[in-house]
Structure 1
Amino acid sequence: MAPAITLAADAPTLSAANTGFMLICSALVMLMTPGLAFFYGGMVRVKSTLNMLMMSFISLGIVTVLWVLYGFSMAFGTDSGSVIGWNSDWVGLSNIGLTELWDGYTIPVFVFLVFQLMFAVLTPALISGALADRVKFTAWALFIALWATVVYFPVAHWVWGSGGWAFELGVIDFAGGTAVHINAGAAALGVILVIGKRVGFKKDPMRPHSLPLVMLGAALLWFGWFGFNAGSWLGNDDGVGALMFVNTQVATAAAVLGWLAYEKIRHGAFTTLGAASGAVSGLVAITPAGGAVSPLGAIAVGAIAGVLCAMAVGLKYRFNYDDSLDVVGVHLVGGILGSLLIGFFATGKGQSDVEGLFYGGGLDQFWKQCAGVFGVLAYSLVVSAVLALLLDKTIGMRVSEDDEVAGIDQAEHAETAYDFSGAGGGAARTAAGAPVAPAESKKVDA
């Protein structure tokens, strides 16, 4: 997803087909953020449902505005030192022509930037799953703004921007294994190490309150991911996008089977939560690799990710860190696996002629992948922890213990997801002077 070098004689012209295709893909990626909200929202307890939905939805507002003001320029502007971009003509998007093409491609700059915007929106929303039940909404909103500015925008430039160090090194990341999933997973780990565990972690039951909501969210993510992955080739002229589409389906299916097989052997049951989580782990793992591997390679990538991510989610109990909804276990571990497995399964017949170890290419690409993976991981982990620490020491990151126990939905949003009395309205209704029936006055144990 970076500019290609073309000769004047070969300069592309605007393609209505590719432009339409990319606008559809952009809409699909946008849908992933609400899908993520439902996925996470079903996984928490009743008293945190709305807060979990809002932690994703607020990213749509904050990151969109920042992207217009300066984010796009930082991520994809003229390179400076291989670490950041800048183009003053793109500030506020005020000097971009309607038919001005993204360099080397047949789509307008506006189409490229809106597609990339949806990636920028989704990535901080992914982090929120690790922080369920305990973070002030104001602090979270400010964290998104700071994190997008000092972490996501620079990392996107490293990986996809012409001149970025990972791009120039030859690190393969088709659609975001490093820039999105490792970035978000490492950030989640950094923040939870600062803010600590939920009240009752490893003591109280913290089961998902709505598995149908989880499955709905997973289905929306799976659907939207076709745009996320296939669209990242920025066109539909040479079959690479089609390969990525196929591999997205194949790897996800294999990951579901891998996760469920592990779950049955380890815990004795095939769970719906396992199926949904397995699907997401496969989607994560194939994101960087799908343009470089064959469908058989995609099966391997998906199955490996399904099993190892299922194993990884239990590490939080062993190492005593509270990754509420397994962002570290799924996104960080899945992103690492998908990125590194390129070094073994790349066929040289997809997005580039790079071959992995199993196709005669040796370990050269594997070491490049390691550089990209651990460079992004270290930067995001450290900077995210520093940002969380600064916010915690100033405005405070966590709600009070009483608010956490009573329910963060009421404390932060003055609403509840479900009205068990049937009267409707929630806190806003009582504040307006409506009578409260005896049943309504009783606290629901969520």
Structure 2
Amino acid sequence: MPPGITTLAADAPTLSAANTGFMLICSALVMLMTPGLAFFYGGMVRVKSTLNMLMMSFISLGIVTILWVLYGFSLAFGTDIGSVIGWSSDYVGLSGIGITQLWDGYTIPVYVFAVFQLMFAVITPALISGALADRVKFTSWALFITLWVTVVYFPVAHWVWGAGGWLFELGVIDFAGGTAVHINAGAAALGVILVIGKRVGFKKDPMRPHSLPLVMLGAGLLWFGWFGFNAGSWLGNDDGVGAVMFVNTQVATAAAMLAWLGYEKLRHGSFTTLGAASGAVAGLVAITPSGGAVSPLGAIAVGAIAGVLCAMAVGLKYKFGYDDSLDVVGVHLVGGVAGSLLVGFFATGGVQSDAKGLFYGGGLDQLGKQAVGVFAVLAYSLVVSAVLAFILDRTIGMRVDEDDEISGIDQVEHAETAYDFSGAGGGAALRTTASAPAPGTTAAPQTKKVDA
């Protein structure tokens, strides 16, 4: 997927069982990231919104999978049309693809590349959902996903990774999705929340995470799956570039987590589990575009810088008054921008390509290209996402009623609750009676078994 690279093995254009198996495993790892994201977000919301948060991620697995097969793969990776979109009739319904047909000179089948890229398409709109927690109708969200991937994600994926896409041809380096995934999702989140407004009680009521263990579980699954997300994006490992990306993913994530915790300790006086989880995700986001261009020492710098910047950015919502519920803007938009721009400083010219950053004698050329990619995707996604949200809000409505939001979106939208507090067992529980002891005694309160 990196710009300027069209084949991995020009001298060996036959199917590689090793690379094919590797890419299938990476595809499964990326798929696991969406349930991991669901747990990460689900633990960060209040109890009354847990299931809705889980479902906002899971529904993307259903909707985007079908759209990708029908036309998404064709729009993103079909024959270039005007450097802005692709289209190949053979890719519609994946019906014209031979089972042994290789992808663009690589050593893996087209089907393998298609399913790997599908998992990227699935998780990107799911990332947006964290900014909209507690207040969006599930039907409206499902329709938004359908429209958004069609008019935003598929075209942007073509710009960045499709042969002939204008950012691809410009030479913008985005190894695994800093622009196409994270800036794209973060800018979309900002566009939507500016349209739909704040949660009831924003900046007034406590809106603390209800389950930090669930958050940590989700962060761990994301970290684990991200190795497939990043290392797999070289589509094989015949030359060791994927191995470098694997190492840099671990290194940058560790550095970002430590940097976030250090900032948090100095700023607020505590090391929090939420900070550790958020810092790790910030590092994963930042190294995604840059990890194939930098050395391990550069990865430490990228992670540390992103950890501090994202930790600072999450508080901006209180200063500027936009309600980014779970810090999608602060982590994914800011982290994606930081990681993409830092390529222009730390690219060594000795890993995925010969492009060098400012600190390695490359001048400002690559930084300029990175800036074009960053701000083009940011502006397009922000504006189009806001327009889509505005249309849906004015037609079918994006938000649940205020009373439903206060009482809990889980019960209203899904007729379920995440936790059953009525008691364990087969329908009976012990309850303490309210009767007072006789005067002058210290008898314990009476209990009796009642139906739960």
TM-score range for the pair, normalised by the shorter chain length: over 0.9
Tell me what 1:257 maps to: 258
SS where residue 198 of structure 1 aligns? coil
Flag the 1:294–1:70 CA change in 2: closer, same or farther, 3 A.
Answer: same
Q: Unpaired runs of 5+ in structure 1?
A: 427-436, 441-446
Tell me what 1:215 maps to: 216
SS where residue 86 of structure 2 aligns? strand
Deviation at 1:210, TM superposition (A): 0.1
Tell me what 1:408 maps to: 409
Tell me what 1:234 maps to: 235
SS where residue 80 of structure 2 aligns? strand
| Counterparts of 2:7 and 2:338, CA distance in 1 | 33
| Counterparts of 2:9 and 2:106, CA distance in 1 | 13
- Give the number of the structure whose alpha-carbon radius of gyration is greater: 2
| Counterparts of 2:46 and 2:65, CA distance in 1 | 29
Tell me what 2:278 maps to: 277
| Counterparts of 2:10 and 2:329, CA distance in 1 | 48
Tell me what 1:32 maps to: 33
| Counterparts of 1:206 and 1:9, CA distance in 2 | 55
Deviation at 1:10, TM superposition (A): 3.3
| Counterparts of 2:388 and 2:36, CA distance in 1 | 27
Percent identity at matched positions?
87
Q: Is 1:54 paired with 2:55? A: yes
| Counterparts of 2:287 and 2:187, CA distance in 1 | 18
Aligned residues of 2:192 and 2:386 also touching (Cα < 8 A): yes
Tell me what 1:293 maps to: 294
Tell me what 2:200 maps to: 199
**What amino acid is the match of 1:286?**
I
**What amino acid is the match of 1:137?**
F
Tell me what 1:388 maps to: 389
Tell me what 1:13 maps to: 14
Aligned residues of 2:73 and 2:114 also touching (Cα < 8 A): yes
Deviation at 1:11, TM superposition (A): 5.5
| Counterparts of 2:104 and 2:307, CA distance in 1 | 37
| Counterparts of 1:6 and 1:189, CA distance in 2 | 37
Flag the 1:7–1:355 CA change in 2: closer, same or farther, 3 A.
Answer: closer
| Counterparts of 1:8 and 1:306, CA distance in 2 | 36
Deviation at 1:147, TM superposition (A): 0.2
Deviation at 1:104, TM superposition (A): 1.7
SS where residue 10 of structure 1 aligns? coil
| Counterparts of 1:181 and 1:325, CA distance in 2 | 14
**What amino acid is the match of 1:308?**
L
**Misfit runs of 4+, over 6 Å:** 6-9, 437-440
Tell me what 1:316 maps to: 317
SS where residue 153 of structure 2 aligns? helix
Flag the 1:184–1:103 CA change in 2: closer, same or farther, 3 A.
Answer: same
**What amino acid is the match of 2:389?**
A
Is the deviation greater in 10-19 or in 271-280?
10-19
Tell me what 1:305 maps to: 306
Flag the 1:239–1:394 CA change in 2: closer, same or farther, 3 A.
Answer: same
**What amino acid is the match of 2:114?**
L
Tell me what 2:110 maps to: 109
Q: Unpaired runs of 5+ in structure 2?
A: 428-448
Aligned residues of 1:4 and 1:105 also touching (Cα < 8 A): no
Tell me what 1:185 maps to: 186
After TM superposition, list the pairs within 5 Å mapping 1:54-133 onto structure 2.
54-133=55-134
Aligned residues of 2:347 and 2:355 also touching (Cα < 8 A): yes
SS where residue 195 of structure 2 aligns? helix
Q: Structure 1, residues 133-187: CA drift from partner, whole Å, max 9, x if none?
A: 0000000000000000000000000000000000000000000000000000000
Q: Structure 1, residues 58-84: CA drift from partner, whole Å, max 9, x if none?
A: 000000000000000000000001000
| Counterparts of 1:150 and 1:79, CA distance in 2 | 16
| Counterparts of 1:90 and 1:279, CA distance in 2 | 37
Tell me what 2:445 maps to: none
Aligned residues of 1:70 and 1:90 also touching (Cα < 8 A): yes
Tell me what 1:151 maps to: 152
SS where residue 43 of structure 2 aligns? helix
Flag the 1:419–1:399 CA change in 2: closer, same or farther, 3 A.
Answer: same
Tell me what 1:434 maps to: none
Tell me what 1:419 maps to: 420
| Counterparts of 1:86 and 1:290, CA distance in 2 | 30
Tell me what 1:338 maps to: 339
| Counterparts of 2:205 and 2:7, CA distance in 1 | 60
Q: Structure 1, residues 371-424: CA drift from partner, whole Å, max 9, x if none?
A: 000000000000000000000000000000000000000000000000111269
Q: Is 1:375 paired with 2:376? A: yes
Flag the 1:6–1:68 CA change in 2: closer, same or farther, 3 A.
Answer: closer
**What amino acid is the match of 2:97?**
I
| Counterparts of 2:8 and 2:330, CA distance in 1 | 45
**What amino acid is the match of 2:383?**
V
TM superposition score normalised by structure 2: 0.93
Aligned residues of 2:294 and 2:348 also touching (Cα < 8 A): yes
| Counterparts of 2:161 and 2:74, CA distance in 1 | 13
**What amino acid is the match of 1:228?**
F
Aligned residues of 2:29 and 2:229 also touching (Cα < 8 A): yes
Deviation at 1:20, TM superposition (A): 0.1
| Counterparts of 1:439 and 1:273, CA distance in 2 | 39
SS where residue 85 of structure 1 aligns? strand
Aligned-pair Cα RMSD in Å: 1.7
Aligned residues of 2:232 and 2:242 also touching (Cα < 8 A): yes
Aligned residues of 1:130 and 1:328 also touching (Cα < 8 A): yes
Flag the 1:425–1:196 CA change in 2: closer, same or farther, 3 A.
Answer: farther
Tell me what 1:430 maps to: none
| Counterparts of 2:9 and 2:372, CA distance in 1 | 34
Flag the 1:373–1:425 CA change in 2: closer, same or farther, 3 A.
Answer: farther
